[in-house]
């Protein structure tokens, strides 16, 4: 999930996630999982503020533009 640069920092992703989590609860989904680049501090903080916790770290989990990045696996039990 992402938002174009000019629309960032306006709460759009938070509202999208809250809507998705509400639908997940309505559907009796028990657990929501996601992956996020470990160095994406803003995204990690957002997910943590919604109750997500880190379950695992994939060291050098992705290679983007010639650079390896760690990937955090996060989850929220509903």
Report pLDDT for 14. 93
Q: What is the pLDDT along the chain (78 residues), one digit of tens a residue?
A: 778 889 888 889 999 999 999 999 999 999 999 999 999 999 999 999 999 999 999 999 999 899 999 999 999 999
Quote the pLDDT of residue 57. 97
Q: Which CATH class is domain 5-77?
A: alpha beta
Residues sharing a CB contact under 8 Å with residue 46, sequence separation 6 or more, in sequence order: 13, 14, 17
Given this model, what pLDDT does residue 8 score? 84
* Domains in the chain: boundaries: 5-77
pLDDT score recorded for residue 20: 95
Predicted local confidence at residue 40, as pLDDT:
92
pLDDT of residue 71: 97
CA–CA gap between residue 23 and residue 42 (Å, rounded): 24
């Amino acid at each position: 999930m992402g938002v174009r640069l000019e629309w960032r920092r306006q709460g759009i992703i938070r509202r999208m996630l809250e809507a998705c989590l509400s639908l997940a609860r309505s559907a009796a989904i028990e657990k929501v999982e996601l992956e996020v680049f470990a160095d994406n501090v803003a995204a990690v903080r957002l997910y943590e503020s919604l109750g997500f916790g880190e379950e695992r770290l994939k060291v050098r989990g992705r290679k983007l533009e010639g650079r390896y990045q760690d990937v955090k696996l996060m989850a929220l039990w509903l």
